[in-house]
Structure 1
Amino acid sequence: MKVLHINAGLENGGGLSHIIGLLSHLPEDDVELLTFADGPVAKAAKDKGIKVKILGKNSRYDFSLLKVLAKYINDGNFDLVHTHGARANLFISLIKRKIKARWIITVHSDPRLDFMNRGMLGRIFTNLNVKSLKKSDGIFAVTNNFKEILLALGLPDSKIKVIYNGIAFSKKAPQLQEHKNFEIVIVGRLHPIKGHAVLLEAFQAANMTSAHLTIIGDGELKSELQADVKKLGLDNQVLFTGLLTQDEINLRYLKTDLAVLSSFSESFPLVLLEAANFAIPVIATDVGDMRQLIPNSSYGWIVPTHNVKAMSLALEEAYGKWQSGDLKKTGFALETHAKKYFSIDRLCKTTMDGYRYFLSK
């Protein structure tokens, strides 16, 4: 079975981590990656020794690629094309009748919200992406919640398989570094859907006398969020790091007590699995299939979206557990649970099973 994974190549974050994590653990003779641009995804693939073809176009919608793309797929005798992201989905939808391979899409995010706050252009791109999803031969949804969304958009149940994200967990427990204050981390692009503004308000409202918040990531809201920090009087407690490599994030985790996800919509966030790998407990909003990772309060906290008070109360409770020394128990419970159900081996097996299922149809 030969599978060609396709991504535009310009993204960072969870999509990149999913693609590279999966391809670096699947049999290397069976998979290849193609990107439209020589960007972060191609670089990460090269660093991992993954075979990657770069078409070399940086223009987001350069349709001159279509003929080249169809020829590459057919000449390579690929059994399956597996796309990640709206642009890759659109391009394959336009050449589907010209390629021999079956076509699978992984839906990493809510397709209704991928182009939020982009006006008429965003609505056009959303409609094009939904039409692309309907043309595919099969879909991997990374949460059951996303499957329900796809069903509501008119896709048939037989076309969708739920495959949860997974990572390569450390075999040995990382040695966390001693530190004085209660250290909180949030990792993600600075985008309205990530809910950073709610977290900042909750952080300011919580009764935590020695807490620091580190915001890792970059994006369109950076200036606005920095202004919020000043307005809330949090200059000495909140740090913006900008984009960091995974190795740099891991170093941060070594001196972190709590990870937070404040998003209004999510898939199954790899950043929380990465925190679990360090036995770091998490507070997460009730998005995606979060209760699969945090089944009850022994494993962490789940709070409603957009709810400053609920987030603030959860922060205070975690802070109290940190003061008493009980917070680590929550982190260890989360680590054990995540390793059992969300490993990279499990992701690879369910992905290969999905390939065989859609090839047989």
Structure 2
Amino acid sequence: MKDPAENMLKICRIASFPSIDSQGVGLPGYQLCKAMENPTLFLTRKTADPLPVGDHIDLRMIDYSSPAFSERLNAGVALKKIFGLLKFLLVSINPMTRFHPDILHIHSPLYLLHAAWARFILRSKICMTFHGSDLLRIKKNPFLKWVLPRLVDLFFHVSLSMRADLQSFLPHSRIIYTPNGVDLDKFRDLGLSRKKQVVAVGNLRWQKGYKYLIDAFSTLTDTQYDLVIAGEGPLRDELENQIEEAGLTGKVRMPGRLDHDQLVKLLGESSIYVMSSVSEGFPKALLEAMACGLPVVTTDAGCCQEVAVDAGICVDCSDSEALAAALRMIIEDQGLRHSLASRAAASAPMYSWDVSCDIVSSAYDSLCV
């Protein structure tokens, strides 16, 4: 009997991949693979303890250098990244050629060399997802704005706020909205006693705007609330120095990257969630906090405002005073805090991974008819 998989589209996906210790990294690509039964070659950077995959997924983890970009592009970092990506491409060519995908789906413009190889050598269709700050760099790069519509067949984006920018240099008919989702079996209100604690979750990078959050919290010491920033990244030393200089040692904690159980417990015992980002796509962490019953204070980066519209207060990016005022309002008004918490928990189920997966699957089929 013929294997049904032989009649299914073969997908090669290139993206970050979630691990047991960092389950939010690369989650959209992982969820797509889990939900779709298509034979899949998943190419990613090597990481410890990756989450499990189904039998239909061939996970290839490749060891290459990929240092993070800072807010201001550093030539040394850029050079290391370029050499790392070239190594990634060279090691990927053999498995890509053997697999010969119908569709290559990249989740970052960093993998455009893979896309070029697949399109012109393997004759694959190309899809690309915009997740966040990558769009900011592409908007400033005339060459990439010229290349993308000529190389990529379909573009997915996770935030409605991206649409106008994308439509300025891409064909409107090839742009598709696919919001992120939340796993309500994992993220929910555990009924724990809530501490006088504000929580933020995310990598310690410039995009998260933590320097503005720490500035804001320095004016809230009279409230008896503490701040916990869960995550790891290149700005740890800088942020620790800022905390010390502001006299917030003991009031602001940075416990590092948490595993799933630790994260759910932290959200479950906190009273307010804050997102101080200056650049976002679709903030998974914000949605997870809402699912855990937390009222939120967020900036208007990416689609934070559209996600949190009923669940909290939205302020301008890079505005410490506005962050502080919004946090104080929710801290001091118990009725408002409880009302926003209830609406947050009710709003989260509107975002489902299954919906996004269905949209992507239909788009794949339309490319290969």
TM-score, normalised to structure 2, is 0.82
Match of 2:114 in 1: 91
Any conservation in 2 of the 1:8–1:88 contact (CA below 8 Å)? no
> Deviations 1:241-296 (Å, cap 9, x if unpaired)?
1122223211211211111111111101000111112111111101212232123x
Q: Kindly tell me: are residues 160 and 204 of structure 1, through their superposed partners in 2, closer, same or farther at Cα, counting changes over 3 Å?
A: same
Q: Kindly tell me: are residues 44 and 148 of structure 1, through their superposed partners in 2, closer, same or farther at Cα, counting changes over 3 Å?
A: farther
Match of 1:189 in 2: 203
> Deviations 1:143-182 (Å, cap 9, x if unpaired)?
1222222233x22212211111112213895323214x42
Q: Kindly tell me: are residues 62 and 311 of structure 1, through their superposed partners in 2, closer, same or farther at Cα, counting changes over 3 Å?
A: closer
State how far apart, in whole Å, the 1-side matches of 2:26 and 2:94 are.
Answer: 25
Aligned mate of 2:349, from 332, 339, 359:
339
Match of 1:279 in 2: 293
State how far apart, in whole Å, the 2-side matches of 1:129 and 1:7 are.
Answer: 19
Aligned mate of 2:317, from 305, 308, 330:
305
Partner secondary structure for residue 53 of structure 1: strand
Partner secondary structure for residue 147 of structure 1: helix
> Deviations 1:213-257 (Å, cap 9, x if unpaired)?
001111121111111111111112110111222232112112111
State how far apart, in whole Å, the 2-side matches of 1:171 and 1:192 are.
Answer: 28
Tell me how far 1:131 sits from its aligned partner. Answer: 5.8
- For 1:252, give the aligned amino acid: L
Match of 2:161 in 1: 145
State how far apart, in whole Å, the 1-side matches of 2:98 and 2:287 are.
Answer: 38
In the TM superposition, 1:210-289 aligns within 5 A as 210-289=224-303
- The more displaced of 74-83 and 1-10 is 1-10
Tell me how far 1:141 sits from its aligned partner. Answer: 0.8
- For 1:165, give the aligned amino acid: N
In the alignment, does 2:355 pair up with 1:356?
Answer: no
Q: Kindly tell me: are residues 188 and 48 of structure 1, through their superposed partners in 2, closer, same or farther at Cα, counting changes over 3 Å?
A: farther
- For 1:344, give the aligned amino acid: W
Q: Kindly tell me: are residues 233 and 171 of structure 1, through their superposed partners in 2, closer, same or farther at Cα, counting changes over 3 Å?
A: closer
Tell me how far 1:205 sits from its aligned partner. Answer: 1.5
- For 1:310, give the aligned amino acid: A
- The more displaced of 252-261 and 60-69 is 60-69
Tell me how far 1:35 sits from its aligned partner. Answer: 2.3
Any conservation in 2 of the 1:264–1:305 contact (CA below 8 Å)? yes
Q: How many residues align?
A: 341
Aligned residues: CA RMSD:
2.9
- For 2:40, give the aligned amino acid: E
State how far apart, in whole Å, the 2-side matches of 1:349 and 1:187 are.
Answer: 28
Q: Kindly tell me: are residues 30 and 102 of structure 1, through their superposed partners in 2, closer, same or farther at Cα, counting changes over 3 Å?
A: same
- For 1:359, give the aligned amino acid: C
- For 1:164, give the aligned amino acid: P
In the alignment, does 2:212 pair up with 1:203?
Answer: no
Q: Kindly tell me: are residues 128 and 258 of structure 1, through their superposed partners in 2, closer, same or farther at Cα, counting changes over 3 Å?
A: farther
* Identity among equivalent pairs (%): 23
Q: Kindly tell me: are residues 55 and 220 of structure 1, through their superposed partners in 2, closer, same or farther at Cα, counting changes over 3 Å?
A: closer
Flag structure 1 segments of 5+ consecutive residues without an equivalent.
116-122
TM-score, normalised to structure 1, is 0.84
In the TM superposition, 1:149-164 aligns within 5 A as 149-152=165-168, 154-164=169-179
Aligned mate of 1:58, from 56, 64, 69:
64
Tell me how far 1:20 sits from its aligned partner. Answer: 2.1
Aligned mate of 2:13, from 5, 8, 11:
5
- For 2:166, give the aligned amino acid: L
Aligned mate of 1:21, from 25, 31, 46:
31
Flag structure 2 segments of 5+ consecutive residues without an equivalent.
1-8, 67-83
Any conservation in 1 of the 2:193–2:269 contact (CA below 8 Å)? yes
State how far apart, in whole Å, the 1-side matches of 2:58 and 2:329 are.
Answer: 46
State how far apart, in whole Å, the 2-side matches of 1:241 and 1:207 are.
Answer: 20
